[in-house]
A and B are shown apart, each in its own frame.
Chain A
Amino acid sequence: AQSVTQPDIHITVSEGASLELRCNYSYGATPYLFWYVQSPGQGLQLLLKYFSGDTLVQGIKGFEAEFKRSQSSFNLRKPSVHWSDAAEYFCAVASSGAGSYQLTFGKGTKLSVIP
């Protein structure tokens, strides 16, 4: 069965600093990988996605992620964090079965931004 690990529960960075959120996955085949962001009390917004092709993918809000098959990782990065980036971030892997694709999520990383 597939699984996703986000080793950092909570990260605090200063505004303007760079950011890297870690994600490791376990999946037997080529994975569909995603990063979502959730503000308090809101639904999840898709930041970026990967299935194949270029291993460095660009997303919305200035985020990017790099797929590393050898490390089973899909880390999220941003070169300069803004206060509005404070939120919870979820990494997810999709697997197929019974005619549908199901997402398995990590437990999330809460990002706090210091002015």
Chain B
Amino acid sequence: SQTIHQWPATLVQPVGSPLSLECTVEGTSNPNLYWYRQAAGRGLQLLFYSVGIGQISSEVPQNLSASRPQDRQFILSSKKLLLSDSGFYLCAWRRDSPYNEQFFGPGTRLTVL
């Protein structure tokens, strides 16, 4: 069966510091991968998605970037965090099925102080 992991679970960082969040998927190959951000009371916003190694699409202009160095690894990064980067970050993978459903990881709670 497939599982998705996110690391770390929580993170507190000062403004201006770098960021690296990791997402890994097990039990599937060449998945489509996604990063979402969930801000309080604002639902989920798609940040990036990837259809393969080295292929990244950005949905919104922002202070963040994403990379996919390996087939089942998706990384969210920033060189200098802003207060507005605080939120709950969720990684997801898409099952290649008639429904194209997405499955989510446990999330990373990021607080920028």
Contacts and interface: CB of A to CB of B under 8 A. Distances in A.
Interface in B86-113: 90, 92, 94, 98-107, 109
A98 interface: yes
Contacts, number: 62
Q: How large is the interface on A (under 10, 10 to 19, 20 to 34, 35 or more residues)?
A: 20 to 34
Given A43-B105, A43-B107, A103 B46 contact: yes
B89 to A, nearest CB: 10
10 contacts: A34-B101, A43-B106, A44-B44, A46-B103, A90-B43, A102-B34, A102-B46, A102-B49, A103-B92, A104-B46
Interface of B: 32, 34, 41-44, 46, 49, 51, 57, 59, 90, 92, 94, 98-107, 109
Interface of A: 32, 34, 36, 41-46, 49-51, 90, 94, 96, 98-108
